[in-house]
Amino acid sequence: MTNRSAAYYTLGCKLNFAETSTISRQLAERGYRSVDFEERADVYVINTCSVTEHANRKCRNIINRALASNPEAFIVVLGCYAQLKPGEIAAMEGVDLVLGAGEKFKLADHLQKLDKKGQAACHACDIQRVDSFYESFSLSERTRSFLKIQDGCDYNCSFCTIPLARGKSRSNTVENVVNSARKLGNRGVREIVLTGINTGDFGKGLHGGRQREITFLDLMRKLEKVEEVDRFRISSIEPNLLSAEIIEAVAASSRFVPHFHIPLQSGSNKILKAMRRRYQRELYAGRIALIKKLMPHACIGADVIAGFPGESEEDFLESYHFIRELDVSYLHVFSYSARPNTPAAAMPGQLSHSVKNERSKMLRNLSAKKLRQFYTRQLGSTRPVLFEGKTEEGMISGYSDNYIKVLLPEEEAAKNRLLPVHFSKLSPEGLMLGKIPEAVTL
């Protein structure tokens, strides 16, 4: 046991947050006291992302912030960027330990040899040798938990480094996921977000096999019976893996909420082919149509990349108009960022930052319009809202089952309460304001 303190900073996706939370609990079991990242700590742990060049730059900035708080601290960098560029990180001033995908959950053991030597120790094996699954979940608050069910990816999209950073697709067992969900529910968690790198690929990689022994739909059916948890949310799912059966299961479910995040990346079939995506836009449109047919109130988000190599003005406008006509609720927009060792980085037709930024701006403006339209259509309805925390303005906020952010006066609800709310009007910022029906006992 130790009497040291540790601070954590997470970059990137919800899966990274779940893994950081698990690592912090491992260190707590060894006696490390968690402190805020802005406080002076003995150890700073930075869990990295490498989806974009910006994530890499931000990692460097976070390292500098940690050293500013305590120049003598032990600096650990782990995660995707650490797997992809271990030597680059090890060369950064102040870094003491670099852990790749196969070593990050062994941090507590590495810290037993904690000693600033002026040169970083680096542990990152060939990603092809990483085939184990390590269960993770977040537990920073009781309201919501991110539960990791799958890791890695067998897809080879031409722009993506994730297979290089995370390895092959692999899954937890249904039994383990169900048991974890029950434990989280018994600890007061009201909503679980199922996370993974390719969530819909759940079932692949069990016991070292490459064939899918069970499916995501099988897992859903088991989780539907977990009475300890009120709500399950699917973090993201590829359109080609989002089957009609999964959509129908959500529509009929009393626990899976009507909220989907479905990566699109482009509305041009030409660009989708260059991206090596496993669908065309017609399949995507069909998935959206079925969701809205069965759940008109459902919220649907989409990832879109602006400025992919070779994307002409005509290609972009084709994509833009396709997305404009889709009944999606919001967009996550990314300007294309060339990543080393990906086919797209070597493609002709690389676009300027100004072109990519202008196209991203157009898509973000479209997203804002779509989100306001979605919220406006929900006015007059009553939906269950899970309240999460207070705002600086003296309100309490939460999310409805269909992912609408709702504000109420603080005295009208409490954190971690799941209550019906009548949606009455939008705030000037575009958030939903509502009231709890009088018949509800608080």
Residue-wise pLDDT for 290-349, tens only, equals 999 999 999 999 999 999 999 999 999 999 999 999 999 999 999 999 998 999 999 999
- Residue 111: which CATH number? 3.40.50.2300
Confidence of residue 126 (pLDDT cuts 50, 70, 90): confident
138 and 88 part of one domain:
no
Of the three residues 257, 272, 292, the one that is the final residue of a domain is 257
- Does the predicted TM-score (pTM) go above 0.75? yes
pLDDT of residue 440: 57
140 and 243 co-located in one domain: yes
Q: Please indicate, yes or no, whether residues 349 and 401 belong to a single structural domain of this protein.
A: no
> Tell me, what's the pLDDT at 324?
98
Number of folded domains that form the chain: 4
Q: Round to whole Å and give the CA distance between 414 and 411.
A: 8
pLDDT of residue 139: 81
Alpha helices in 149-268 (DSSP H): 162-166, 174-186, 216-223, 244-252
Q: What is the CATH number of the domain that holds 142?
A: 3.30.750.210
The last residue of a domain, from among 217, 238, 257: 257
CATH assignment of the domain containing 401: 2.40.50
Is residue 178 in some structural domain? yes
DSSP state of 412: G
Band the pLDDT of 442: cuts 50, 70, 90. very low
Pairing outcome for strands 150-151 and 74-79: unpaired
Shared domain for 160 and 222, answered yes or no, is yes
Residue 411 scores a pLDDT above 90: no
Max mean pLDDT among 84-88, 163-167, 360-364 falls in: 360-364
Give the mean model confidence (pLDDT) for residues 409-424.
Answer: 86
Per-chain mean pLDDT for the chain: 91
- Helix, strand, coil share of the chain (percent; to 5): 35, 20, 40
Check residues 439 and 266 and name the one with the higher pLDDT.
Answer: 266
* Domain match, 317 and 397 both: no
235 and 322 fall within a common domain: no
Distances (CA, A) of 397 to 79, 123, 259, 411: 32, 42, 18, 12
Q: Does 391 lie in the same domain as 365?
A: no
Backbone phi, psi, residue 398, to 5°: -165, 180
Within this chain, do residues 40 and 66 fall inside the same structural domain, yes or no? yes
Beta-carbon contacts of 172 under 8 Å, excluding residues fewer than 6 positions away, are 133, 135, 148, 149, 150
Same domain? 64 vs 120:
yes
Say whether both 80 and 158 belong to one domain: no
Give the strand pairing for 43-48 and 5-10: parallel
In a domain, 305, yes or no: yes
Residue 31 is predicted with a pLDDT of 92
441 inside domain: no
% of the chain beyond a pLDDT of 90: 71
Mention every residue, 6+ apart, whose C-beta is less than 8 A from residue 430.
368, 371, 372, 375
Q: Is residue 440 included in any domain, yes or no?
A: no
**Closest C-alpha to 308, from 282, 345, 262:** 345
| 442 within some domain | no
84 vs 218, residue with greater confidence? 218
Over the stretch 276-286, which tens digit does the pLDDT of each residue have? Answer: 999 999 999 99
Q: Is residue 400 part of a domain?
A: yes
pLDDT band (50, 70, 90) for residue 374: very high
What domain range includes position 53? 5-125
Q: Which of 237, 257, 277 is a domain's end point?
A: 257
State residue 62's pLDDT score.
92
Confidence at residue 265, expressed as pLDDT on a 0 to 100 scale: 98
Q: Do 135 and 253 belong to one domain? A: yes
User: Do 188 and 75 share a structural domain?
Assistant: no
Per DSSP, the three-state class of 113 is: helix
The reply to whether 377 falls in a domain is no
Residue 441, pLDDT above cutoff 60: no
